[in-house]
């Protein structure tokens, strides 16, 4: 596990963006942990989150020409990540969409740079893959090429079949999905903290029931 992944897990727990207990997922499952990127809700935490996104993007080696953030959570994420990448010497254009097309002013449903070249999608998570599908349609309709998706945490959890939501996106759309951290990283962190033994056990049982082995 690379250092930034372990650092991200510690940071997310400290910000209470990762919480432990009992939470109902969209699939109706009772999960022993919950991740909510909306809790990075001040300037400092959003800036740190964007740094982790930038590190994951650069570590992946993926080639891209610009960034796109799907509304709504993807909007602050793509904006902050673009700023962070610029600070590291990669000043790239970015854009995001609005849910409803604007019929006055500049019109349309895209704000920011013109979609062109290889477009990397920045979002918080993939659940049913709906936001990814909509983003791909928007990018392709503009004549650009979606080249990958970056999310914060890969839960490595099965969807309706044997694959996780991230695996399904990779298989159906033939594009890579990168995560800042995975459930493997969360489990590795919990193993280092004896006070988290109960959480580790609960996450392990849940993973045995719903988990997938890899998103490669």
Is 216 within a domain?
A: no
Of 99, 104, 162, 174, the catalytic one is 104
- Among this protein's residues, is 104 annotated catalytic? yes
Residue 189 sits in a domain of what CATH number?
3.40.50.2020
Is 215 within a domain?
A: no
94 alpha-carbon distance from chain centroid: 16
Count of domains for the chain: 1
- Among this protein's residues, is 102 annotated catalytic? yes
Burial of 34 (0-12, 13-18, 19+ CB in 10 A): middle
Mean pLDDT of the chain: 92
Picking from 74-78, 88-92, 106-110, 114-118, which range would have the lowest pLDDT averaged per residue? 106-110
Of 26, 73, 99, 102, the catalytic one is 102
Would you say residue 32 has pLDDT above 50? yes
Residue 94 pLDDT class (50, 70, 90 cuts): very high
**Residue 112 Rama label (left phi>0; alpha psi -120 to 50; beta):** left
Is 140 within a domain?
A: yes
For residue range 136-150, what is the model confidence (pLDDT) as tens digits? Answer: 999 999 999 999 999
Q: What is the pTM of this model?
A: 0.92
More confident residue, 10 or 131: 10
Torsion of CA 59, 118, 98, 72, to 10 degrees: -20
pLDDT of amino acid 126: 86
Residue with tokens 């994420």: 77
pLDDT of amino acid 127: 75
More confident residue, 79 or 99: 79
Range of the domain at 181: 3-210
């Amino acid at each position: 596990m690379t250092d930034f992944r372990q650092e991200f897990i510690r940071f997310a727990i400290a910000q209470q963006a990762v919480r432990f207990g009992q939470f109902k997922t969209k699939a109706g499952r009772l999960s022993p942990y919950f991740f909510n990127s909306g809790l990075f809700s001040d300037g400092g935490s959003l800036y740190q989150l964007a740094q982790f996104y930038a590190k994951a993007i650069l570590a992946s080696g993926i080639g891209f020409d610009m960034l796109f953030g799907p509304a709504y959570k993807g909007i602050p994420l793509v904006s902050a990540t673009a700023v962070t990448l610029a600070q590291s010497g990669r000043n790239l254009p970015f854009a995001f969409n609005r849910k409803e097309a604007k019929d006055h002013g500049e019109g349309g449903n895209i704000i920011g740079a013109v979609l062109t070249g290889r477009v990397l999608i920045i979002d918080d998570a993939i659940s049913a893959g709906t936001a990814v599908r909509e983003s791909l349609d928007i990018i392709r309709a503009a004549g650009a090429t979606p080249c990958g998706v970056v999310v914060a945490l890969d839960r490595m959890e099965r969807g309706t079949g044997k694959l996780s939501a991230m695996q399904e996106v990779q298989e159906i759309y033939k594009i890579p999905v990168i995560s800042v951290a995975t459930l493997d990283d969360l489990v590795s962190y919990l193993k280092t903290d004896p006070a988290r033994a109960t959480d580790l056990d609960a996450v392990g049982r849940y993973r045995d029931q719903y988990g997938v082995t890899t998103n490669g």
